[in-house]
Chains A and B, each alone.
Chain A
């Protein structure tokens, strides 16, 4: 299967902005059965590529002349060589051992309410052979317990806040899954990327987010709790982190410019 990806982010400022700096994670991190046929990232201003502590490919670029608009485009074609598995293993060399991904951090931090939410699963969590079924139980619990609703939460909602509100978008599902896994002692992390809208029901036009959990002997497996399925080779991963903030596709800071409007348009089409 081949997919054509167009990932466009646009900022418009109300007034001319004298300086802005942006950081983007828009270069794919491939799974075992994925291959990149072409890929390019276009950003304005001056920038450089670097690799963060997790192995994400980051570009930081800045504009120092007055500007009112910024456009970032990532585009290319990737291929999934379908295998026998119903889920995709992300088996690239890891910068940090699984233990790191137990850190209780940021938007994915776990609090008492999350411990209560999975208290009954704690017994099973000790058994490593039970891990995959356990994670599926957890995913089902999220699918049943949380309603997918755009606008139910804000971009800086924590896992506990999403749980309390009973609804959220893919980011909230992912945060909650990550937080629950960590409570159960399963290393887990946030993944951001994109996915064809045909591939699943709940995929925003602004990109997608899911979770990855570590299973000994298998490696990192993607769980997409917003859709209740495991990530397959149709999922193109752009960044990982302890939470959204660390994996966000685009973040930035600016001086001046007044109000800003951000527009993200992600299109993934199957082309073969």
Chain B
């Protein structure tokens, strides 16, 4: 693998940006940090390694005590694992954040406009900006949702937009998540833990708070009820404790003070949804569901599903309950639709996209496929409907055999894949076995859309803990960091 240059968030070194000028190279020689990281660098220099190690153990204990676990929640032996948490925060300046925030809100508004259009007239196709089959033949398109008009025309109430940074002023959107994006509980808990462990660091910085997220979330959920005449009852529907994100479901329900329910706690009567309580049936107005479309209603989708509620789709279509996020959102965030998002921004908002897409080759186009097959060793190949870092090839870090395997897959089902250049994801100093070393990071901010569209300042920074790895997914051994947006 060729030696690559990566932009380091703290030192400002590497990357290909024009702004990487003389001054920064000098900074390297003097061991200086970029302004937003200056105090962090100072703190790292002053803090003995064993103290950091102690704090790390303390953090781990806190996570266990709070029951913050991932994946193996319901594992047979009752033991659970936590996602590794890194103590060194990832810092964004106010200016950087302003830019990202505008871009995120713009992108989410466009995605919402697209989803509403996709399930109504499909004007974007009529205007020639997108082939209609991209929507109609998309595996994720839900025919039953055609013509469904939702409160505020919002479909993607909660969006997690994955961003990567490659230089001081270049960010790319890696993917949009508008089905049931997860990870926000880590954003909140990471901040809690950091504030407990390093109160002095917070005194030395002005960090914008993220703790209001659950309140904003609840406000949004209440605002999207169909039943405006009633004080809305909001619940969170989980697939149950065997789901890898169960902790997050319990955490969010707890924080919002709403019931955490499973499908069997609910029933539909007269096209209205009720939950079974010790006081009798209680009507439900808004369901924050963390169950996938296919399992949501055995009468409408997978008839074998035990996770959903029979008649739920009828209740939604009869305008008696709203489901968040909406049905059929998968058409907006799969990797083939991704290509069209900049056009969505232009078409629906009449604006130029603020955030850029990563250049992408579609393997169903023969020219693109040819290029991809010739350059497999340099590219990242992704399954169109894949998620969680699975079904993906990172050319530069893969073996010959892995590359050849993908060559076969691509030839068999080219339409299933897209390819992108291997991005030089920025690095951020991270506590590793021996001292501090740069590790690749991405960023997932969370965007809420109800009456208006808001973003919490920050998000979840995911970090690839393996040296050189570009895969940050927690299911693939990634960790998380607290993400700071500095105040003015």
Contact = CB atoms under 8 A, between A and B. Distances in A.
Given A21-B299, A253-B298, A51 B317 contact: yes
A137 to B, nearest CB: 26
B136 A103 contact: yes
A99 B137 CA distance: 8
Nearest to B144: A53
Name the prevailing secondary structure of the B interface residues.
Answer: loop
B314 A53 contact: no
Nearest to B139: A103
B303 interface: yes
Contact of B132 (A19, A48, A50, A97): A97
Interface string A98-110: 0110110000000
B318 interface: yes
Given A96-B136, A103-B137, A46 B310 contact: no
Given A19-B267, A103-B137, A60 B146 contact: no
Interface in B263-278: 267-271
A50 B318 contact: yes
Nearest to A245: B303
Interface string B291-334: 00000001100010000001100110110100000000000000
B423 interface: no
A103 B140 CA distance: 11
Contacts of B136: 96-97, 99-100, 102-103
A166 B306 CA distance: 34
Contacts of B141: 100
Contacts of B299: 21, 23, 60, 251-253
Nearest to B133: A99
A53 B271 contact: no
B317 A52 contact: yes
Contacts of A48: 270-271, 314, 318, 320
A102 B137 contact: yes
B388 to A, nearest CB: 25
Contacts of B269: 21, 46, 62, 64
A204 B192 CA distance: 66
B62 interface: no
A95 interface: yes
A60 B271 contact: yes
A50 B314 contact: yes
Nearest to A103: B137
A37 to B, nearest CB: 28
A100 B271 contact: no
Contact of B268 (A62, A103, A242, A245): A62
A60 B137 contact: no
A47 interface: yes
- Which size class do B's interface residues fall under? 20 to 34
Given A21-B310, A60-B314, A50 B271 contact: yes
B311 A23 contact: yes
B314 to A, nearest CB: 4
Contacts of A50: 271, 314, 317-318
B145 interface: yes
A251 B143 CA distance: 18
A58 interface: yes
A54 interface: yes
Nearest to B316: A50
A51 B313 CA distance: 11
Contacts of A61: 270
Contacts of A58: 314, 317
A61 B141 CA distance: 26
Interface string B240-278: 000000000000000000000000000111110000000
B146 A96 contact: yes
A62 B318 contact: no
B139 to A, nearest CB: 9
Contacts of A46: 269-270
Interface in A60-92: 60-62, 64
A54 B148 CA distance: 11
B122 to A, nearest CB: 8
Contact of A242 (B143, B145, B315, B317): B143
11 contacts: A46-B270, A47-B270, A48-B270, A48-B320, A53-B144, A60-B314, A64-B269, A99-B132, A103-B143, A252-B310, A253-B310
Across chains A and B, which 5 residue pairs bring their CB atoms closest together, nearest first?
A53-B146, A46-B270, A60-B314, A253-B310, A48-B271
Given A64-B269, A253-B299, 11 more contacts: A21-B268, A48-B270, A48-B318, A51-B317, A52-B144, A53-B143, A53-B148, A60-B315, A62-B267, A99-B132, A246-B143
Interface of B: 122, 132-133, 136-137, 141-148, 267-271, 298-299, 303, 310-311, 314-315, 317-318, 320
Interface of A: 19, 21, 23, 46-48, 50-54, 58, 60-62, 64, 95-97, 99-100, 102-103, 242, 245-246, 251-253
